[in-house]
Amino acid sequence: MSGPRPVVLSGPSGAGKSTLLKRLMKEHEGVFGFSVSHTTRNPRPGEKDGKDYHFTTKEAMQDGIDNGEFIENAEFSGNMYGTSKAAIEDVRAKNLICILDVDIQGVKRIKETDLDPIYISIQPPSMEVLEKRLRDRQTETEESLQTRLEAARIDMELSKEPGVFDVVIINDDLEKAYEELKEILDEEIKKVQEAKS
């Protein structure tokens, strides 16, 4: 595939992926494009259909999967999530760096494709900090919080396996984590900016 290299951001729910990528996109207008995933979970307050996710039903999503419309899909915390081929194409058609926010199952499935992204894991400094962040975000029920923490334990172990990620960023201090992320992507950012000038 031609154009700038896509970027996969992964890591436990609550580690800070959306926080970092929203800032990255805001500070680099016209450089990044978000691959809008499909999900069967309910929207959170403030989330917009078509921007944060394509919110859909299990039936419609399963039809799309059966029709080969997704490059990967996974079940996470009782809901379906997936990256459609169209979501990636929409970004790549504009010659932008395509950012995918997917869980560890998504990372493994994307590795079986020819997408060839830069794989970045965003990790919390500890389980305790992660739990506090998730509780403070007030988006989960106690049940879904516990499911997410269990998935986080698995994610934190798998992310240590050599070769899974190109880089692991510990998001303790937000400024430091953001600077690290920018530095990793500096070369790709410059390529897009130069192509536009």
Ligand X SMILES: Nc1ncnc2c1ncn2[C@@H]1O[C@H](COP(=O)(O)OP(=O)(O)OP(=O)(O)O)[C@@H](O)[C@H]1O
Q: In this structure, what token pair is assigned to residue 33?
A: 């494009």
The answer to whether 15 contacts ligand X (rule: CB under 6 A) is: yes
Question: Is there a catalytic annotation at residue 41?
Answer: no
Phi, psi of 136 (to 5 degrees): -65, -30
Binding segment for ligand X among 48-56, 59-67, 86-94, 132-140 (CB under 6 A)? 132-140
Q: Please pick, among 5, 23, 137, 153, the residue that the annotation labels catalytic.
A: 137
134-153: contacts with ligand LQESDW3C (CB under 6 A): none
The answer to whether 13 contacts ligand X (rule: CB under 6 A) is: yes
CB of 153 vs ligand X, minimal distance in Å: 15
Q: What is d(CA 189, CA 97) in angstroms, rounded to the nearest whole number? A: 8
Question: Is there a catalytic annotation at residue 5?
Answer: no
Residue 171, contacted partner among ligand LQESDW3C, ligand X, none, CB below 5-8 A by kind: ligand X
CB of 53 vs ligand X, minimal distance in Å: 10
- In 3D space, the residue among 146, 121, 117 whose CA is nearest the CA of residue 134 turns out to be 146
CB-based contacts of 170, cutoff 8 Å, min separation 6: 123, 124, 125, 177
SS3 171: coil
SS3 3: coil
Of 91, 101, 169, 180, the one binding ligand LQESDW3C by CB under 6 A = 101
